[in-house]
Amino acid sequence: MFFQLLIGGLAVGCIYALIGLGYSLIYSASGLMSFVQGEIFMLGAYVAYTIYVGLHIPFLIAVLIAILIMFVFGMLLERGMISPLLRRGSKQIHIVLATIGLSIFLKNFAMIIWGSDVKNFPSALGEDPIRMGNVSISPQQIAIMAVTFICMVLLHFFMNKTKLGTSLRAAAQDPMAAGVVGINVSLTVGMAWALAAVLSAIAGILLAPIYGVYPKMGAILSTKGFAAAVLGGYGNMYGAIIGGLIFGVVETMAAGYIASSFKDIISFVVLILVLFIMPHGILKVKADD
């Protein structure tokens, strides 16, 4: 049973990690908190569903188009809502409220456009689980872990080895100095939000075959992804990944070994404990110190 729980926990943890990455990315690039990642996750799933199932476009192409659309959405979100608010002198809390408002809007928007019933997203990898002894893994779970790993590697590569990624980190550390050096700071902030949207959308597309697609699918993930980011060190990308995986594994182990009713409680109890002991989260955010 232990390995079954471990694999399930890691798979779920990867999803929390992807969403937590979004939160940390936005925070590290713009110093802002966004509470709409769960709904972007949901929107990504719906957009992919419409293209793949509605328009019958082959899976990989549909996914790429959906990711592109969500990238643009993230960029528009930053340009159209966040920047104007900041220019008018909004504080942190106003941005938080704006993103919460947007999340409510998106949920109801999805309900009106697509209906509130659970839509079936057929898995491109088939439904039959692979059994190894007592442990069964569904191909979707393997896909989740593989794609998350690839995303992490690509993100690391992008942030450290490419010009755009490095300028993003520079702008995050010191916007004024970055501007002086010739970096287009507003573009990089837009990029960060767009990348975060892409990560959440990828999570949505990965989970759609398991969850089904419905308007409330992002709600609880929003909270857990945020908690994962905090656990790992808010603003630290690698921390978000660690936080997400820990969350997923602890939650699944708790449901398996203690009681299923503990599942939601235990993760947040762990979060509170970690914050008492290590308020900065597991990996400290370098910029803050």
Residues that bind another protein (CB under 8 A): 1, 4-5, 7-9, 11-12, 111, 115-118, 120, 127, 129, 131, 136, 138, 207, 210-212, 214, 216-217, 219-220, 251-257, 260-261, 263-264
Q: How far is the CB of 245 from another protein (least distance, A)?
A: 14
Q: Which is nearer to another protein, 2 or 157 (CB)?
A: 2
82 to 31, 77, 98: CA distances (angstroms)? 12, 7, 8
Q: Running DSSP on this structure, what letter comes out for residue 90?
A: -
Q: Which is nearer to another protein, 33 or 53 (CB)?
A: 53
Q: Is the CB of residue 194 less than 8 Å from the CB of residue 72?
A: yes
Q: How far is the CB of 136 from another protein (least distance, A)?
A: 5
Please give the Cα distance from 19 to 49 (Å, whole number).
19
Two tokens at 225? 């992804």
Q: How far is the CB of 114 from another protein (least distance, A)?
A: 12
Q: Which is nearer to another protein, 220 or 272 (CB)?
A: 220
Q: How far is the CB of 2 from another protein (least distance, A)?
A: 9
What is the CA 51 to chain-centroid distance, rounded? 21
Find all residues with CB under 8 Å of 277, minimum gap 6, and list them: none
Q: Which is nearer to another protein, 165 or 225 (CB)?
A: 225
Q: How far is the CB of 214 from another protein (least distance, A)?
A: 7
Two tokens at 274? 């970690």
3-state secondary structure of 124: coil
Q: How far is the CB of 113 from another protein (least distance, A)?
A: 14
Q: Which is nearer to another protein, 136 or 166 (CB)?
A: 136
Least Cα distance to 256 among 10, 7, 12, 5 occurs for 5
Q: Which is nearer to another protein, 1 or 177 (CB)?
A: 1
Q: How far is the CB of 119 from another protein (least distance, A)?
A: 8
Beta bridge partners of 135: 132
Q: Which is nearer to another protein, 39 or 78 (CB)?
A: 39
210 to 118, 119, 123, 197: CA distances (angstroms)? 11, 11, 8, 20
What does residue 14 show for φ and ψ, rounded to 5 degrees?
A: -60, -40
